[in-house]
């Protein structure tokens, strides 16, 4: 049986707009909905929404006519509506709420360039989006034209990248890079491609979801000049998967751009295993690989969207094994304070002995895996290439590799010295492990291997 057709909607308020305008991304951007009067022509506002729309200090509101048409106008709980129409709940503070909960600005060596991981950076190229999500992690800058990055800052970002050869992967985000003027976007891509050590470029964009008509063959033709280029889109609910989004994704995949999807787990929107299963299956149908399911960040204005982490675990339990493995996204908590992406999942390993592990599958079937008894670690495959150094960030992996034996919290030595004396029993050599520890730099160790 063929797949049922995907929906294509236009709210009655836009019935008279000629098709050439409706399908023009510039028309969609310049006719975005943001005042109570404009909203009332398309959906019936609740008191809470009216209050939020008349507040002066809330995160920016703008919704493309295309995207607002996906809302069921009489349903205040519509999952698309909740993502983009503000409510008074945004004004409620909550414990641990922060302006910049991922400490991105602290991890920025130059403005707008977040260097958190060893080999990749996040490059913020604009603060503008096609539509604004009420839970936006970067609401501290997004939507504010005055916060956008200057030409001088762009040059500083490029200078940093040129002089930092450990960076092999640049993720363009913002804001949304695909709302930039085509010339500016191309300039950014071409300047990045001039840096030899940058192997891949990624773009994170919600434009295909909010404004699919922006993904023209002219745009994809430009993008494919800068391969390898990957794009992650951002769909949270199956109702966002329309014929228009499918066509935009088709244009991108035909241009050789691999597509992934990021979803934010949102209370009242997609905190249900059956919605998530429908979402990932529909994404795969339009050739988009589900990538991450994010726990909602501790960001100002987003408290009412947060779920307990247990809800995410329950969802993952209902995905793994229940649908194709490549349709299962990875559940992630982005570590508050700049901890980076930390995967969390149900436990599948129940126990272990010196030669056996006990596992359970999604059905509750319990099995054992017999470990090999003749495995020789010293016979493991040898890596002949040049190891990539991860200065200061080799982490747990370096404990396993035997490069260091401890990772200590900041100030550990000072606290445990208890203000005492350097006395005759304190001899550093006592706690130096044979073959591990200082004495050689990582680089020297690497050369000796
Ligand atoms: S598209 Fe992304 S950057 Fe823009 S408002 Fe939504 S979450 Fe924030």
Please determine, for residue 337, whether its predicted confidence score (pLDDT) is greater than 70.
yes
- Of all helices (H) and strands (E), which one includes residue 415? helix 412-417
Ligand 1 pocket mutation, candidates 63, 142, 144, 211, criterion most atoms within 8 A of CB: 142
pLDDT at 437: 64
Residues 294, 240 share a domain: yes
Asked whether residue 76 falls in the same domain as residue 119, the answer is: no
What is the per-residue pLDDT across 196-249, written as a single tens digit (0 to 9) for each?
999 999 999 999 999 999 999 999 999 999 999 999 999 999 999 999 999 999
What strand order describes the sheet that includes 259-264? 113-114, 120-124, 169-173, 200-204, 229-234, 259-264, 289-294, 330-335, 340-343
Burial (CB count <10 Å: 0-12, 13-18, 19+), residue 131? buried
pLDDT of 300 higher than 70: yes
Ligand 1 geometric centre to CA of 401 (Å): 39
Ligand 1 contacts (CB < 6 A) are: 129, 132-133, 136, 138, 142, 174-176, 206
Pair 146, 22 in one domain: no
190 sits in which H/E element: helix 182-193
447 contact partners, CB below 8 Å, separation of at least 6: none
Q: What spacing in Å lies between the alpha carbon of 142 and ligand 1's midpoint?
A: 7
Least trusted range by pLDDT, from 252-256, 321-325, 419-423:
419-423
Judgement on whether residues 137 and 41 belong to the same structural domain of the protein: no
Of 286, 320, 343, the residue at which a domain comes to its end is 343
200 and 295 share one domain: yes
- Per the structure, the complete domain to which residue 36 belongs is given by 12-87
Enzyme catalytic residues? 116-117, 120, 129, 133, 136, 138, 297, 334, 341
> Domain count of the chain?
2
pLDDT of 448 reads 46
pTM equals 0.93
- Mean pLDDT computed over 192-198: 98
| 434 pLDDT above the threshold of 90 | no
Strands 120-124 and 113-114: antiparallel
Q: How far is CA 256 from the centre of its chain?
A: 21
Identify which of 61, 136, 172, 178 to mutate to test ligand 1's pocket (most ligand atoms within 8 A of the CB): 136
**Residue 95 pLDDT class (50, 70, 90 cuts):** very high
> Among 103-112, 241-250, 382-391, which range has the highest average pLDDT?
241-250
Gap between the Cα atoms of 46 and 78, Å rounded = 12
Model pLDDT, residue 447: 52
Whether residues 167 and 309 share a domain: the answer is yes
The answer as to whether 150 is a domain residue is yes
∠ Cα 318 71 129 (to 5°): 90
Q: What local confidence, expressed as pLDDT, does residue 331 receive?
A: 98
Does residue 395 lie within any of the structural domains? no
Q: Give the chain's mean pLDDT.
A: 94
Tell me the pLDDT band of 389, cut-offs 50, 70 and 90.
confident
- How far is ligand 1, taken at its centre, from the CA of residue 184, in Å? 20
Domain boundary among 45, 72, 87: 87
Q: What are the CA-CA distances from residue 49 to residues 36, 57, 73, 375, 402 (Å)?
A: 9, 14, 13, 63, 57
> Is residue 132 located within the same domain as residue 69?
no
Residue 443 has pLDDT above 80, yes or no: no
Ligand 1 mean position to 351 CA, how many Å? 42
User: Is residue 331 classed as helix, strand or coil in its secondary structure?
Assistant: strand
CA atoms within 13 A on the CB side of 122: 21
Give DSSP secondary structure letters for 16-33: TS-HHHHT-HHHHHHT-B
* Residue with CA at minimum distance from ligand 1 atom 7: 136
CA–centroid distance, residue 391 to ligand 1 (Å): 32
- Mean pLDDT within 403-414: 91
Could you tell me if residue 422 is inside a domain?
A: no
CA distance 339 to 336: 6
Residues 185 and 72 in one domain: no
In tens, the pLDDT along 18-46 reads 999 999 999 999 999 999 999 999 999 99
What percentage of the chain reaches a pLDDT higher than 70? 97
Comparing 250-259, 297-306, 438-447, the range with the smallest average pLDDT is 438-447
Q: What is the CATH number of the domain that holds 169?
A: 3.20.20.70
Atom 1 of ligand 1: nearest residue by CA position: 206
Ligand 1 atom nearest 173 alpha carbon: 3
Instruction: Identify the pLDDT of residue 265.
Output: 98
Same domain, 82 and 117: no
pLDDT (0 to 100) of residue 191: 98
In the numeric block, the tokens 């048409």 are attached to: 69
- Do 59 and 126 have their domain in common? no
Place of tokens 């922006």: 214
pLDDT at 441 over 60: no
| HEC-encoded secondary structure of 344-362 | CCCCCEEEECCCEEEEECC
DSSP conformation class of 12: G
Mean pLDDT of 373-394: 92
């Amino acid at each position: 049986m063929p797949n049922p057709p995907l929906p294509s909607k236009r709210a009655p308020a836009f019935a008279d707009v000629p098709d050439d305008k409706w399908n023009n991304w510039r028309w969609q951007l310049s006719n975005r909905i943001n005042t109570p009067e404009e909203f009332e022509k398309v959906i019936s506002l609740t008191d809470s929404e009216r209050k939020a729309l008349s507040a002066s200090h809330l995160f920016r509101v703008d919704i493309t006519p295309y995207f607002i048409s996906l809302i069921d106008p009489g349903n205040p709980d519509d999952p698309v509506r909740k993502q983009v129409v503000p409510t008074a709940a945004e004004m409620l503070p909550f414990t641990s709420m922060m302006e910049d909960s991922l400490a991105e600005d602290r991890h920025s060596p130059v403005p707008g360039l977040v260097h958190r991981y060893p080999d990749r950076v996040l490059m913020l190229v604009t603060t503008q989006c096609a539509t604004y999500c009420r839970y936006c992690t970067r609401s501290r800058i997004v939507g504010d034209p005055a916060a956008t990055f200057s030409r001088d800052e762009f040059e500083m970002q490029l200078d940093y990248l040129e002089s930092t050869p450990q960076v092999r992967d640049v993720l363009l985000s913002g804001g949304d890079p695909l709302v930039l003027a085509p010339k500016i976007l191309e300039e950014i891509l071409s300047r990045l491609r001039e840096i030899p050590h940058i192997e891949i470029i990624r773009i994170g964009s919600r434009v295909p979801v909010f404004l699919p008509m922006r993904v023209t063959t002219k745009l994809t033709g430009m993008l494919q000049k800068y391969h390898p280029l990957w794009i992650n889109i951002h769909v949270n609910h199956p109702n966002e998967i329309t014929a228009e989004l499918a066509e935009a994704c088709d244009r991108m995949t035909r241009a050789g751009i691999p597509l992934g999807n990021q979803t934010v787990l949102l209370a009242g929107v997609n905190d249900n295993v059956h919605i998530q299963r429908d979402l990932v299956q529909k994404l795969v149908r339009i050739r988009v690989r589900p990538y991450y399911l994010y726990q909602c960040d501790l960001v100002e204005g987003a408290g009412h969207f947060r779920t307990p982490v247990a809800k995410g675990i329950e969802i993952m339990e209902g995905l793994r094994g229940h649908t194709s493995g490549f349709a299962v996204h990875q559940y992630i908590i982005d570590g508050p304070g700049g901890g980076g992406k930390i995967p969390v999942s149900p436990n599948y390993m129940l126990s272990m002995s010196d030669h056996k592990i006990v596992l359970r599958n999604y059905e509750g079937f319990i099995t054992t895996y017999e470990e090999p008894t003749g495995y020789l670690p010293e016979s493991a495959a040898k890596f002949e290439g040049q190891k990539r150094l991860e200065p200061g960030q080799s982490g747990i992996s370096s404990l396993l590799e035997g490069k260091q034996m401890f990772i200590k919290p900041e100030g550990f030595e000072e606290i445990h010295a208890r203000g005492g004396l350097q006395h005759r029993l304190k001899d550093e050599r006592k706690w130096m492990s044979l073959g591990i520890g200082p004495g050689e730099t990582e680089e020297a160790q690497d050369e000796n291997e």
